Amino acid sequence: MRRSREIPTCVLLLAASGALLGCTEHRDCVDAYNHKQPDSYCNAGTHIGAHFLYAGRSGGQYGDTVVGGHSVSRGGFGHGGGGDGE
């Protein structure tokens, strides 16, 4: 019932070998007052006001104020517990 003999699966094979890597723009996780925090603070999805600032500026230490940038919140999905296909 299938016409082709070969099934091209480059992405699948890369993923199966664990070789798929993502890349992201520079970002800082900040609290509601734009104070720099670890990424885990933003990814938890539980801290009110936590968000990422993209292309913002700071001294690079936790607690520093980050100025400028573009505000993105993350961690608002993905709490289903894993294995959500069926």
Tell me which residues touch other proteins (CB under 8 A): 1-5, 7-16, 20, 22-25, 27, 43, 45, 51-52, 54, 70-86
Instruction: Give the C-alpha distances (Å, rounded to integers) separating 3 from 7, 8, 12, 29.
Output: 10, 14, 21, 50
Q: In terms of CB distance, is 24 or 61 closer to other proteins?
A: 24
Smallest separation (angstroms) from other proteins to the CB of 37: 16
Give the H or E element holding residue 37: strand 36-37
Q: Name the token pair of 48.
A: 């009110």
Q: In terms of CB distance, is 61 or 84 closer to other proteins?
A: 84
Smallest separation (angstroms) from other proteins to the CB of 52: 7
Helix (H, G, I), strand (E, B) or coil at 35: strand
Q: In terms of CB distance, is 61 or 77 closer to other proteins?
A: 77
The amino acid present at 34, given as its one-letter code, is N
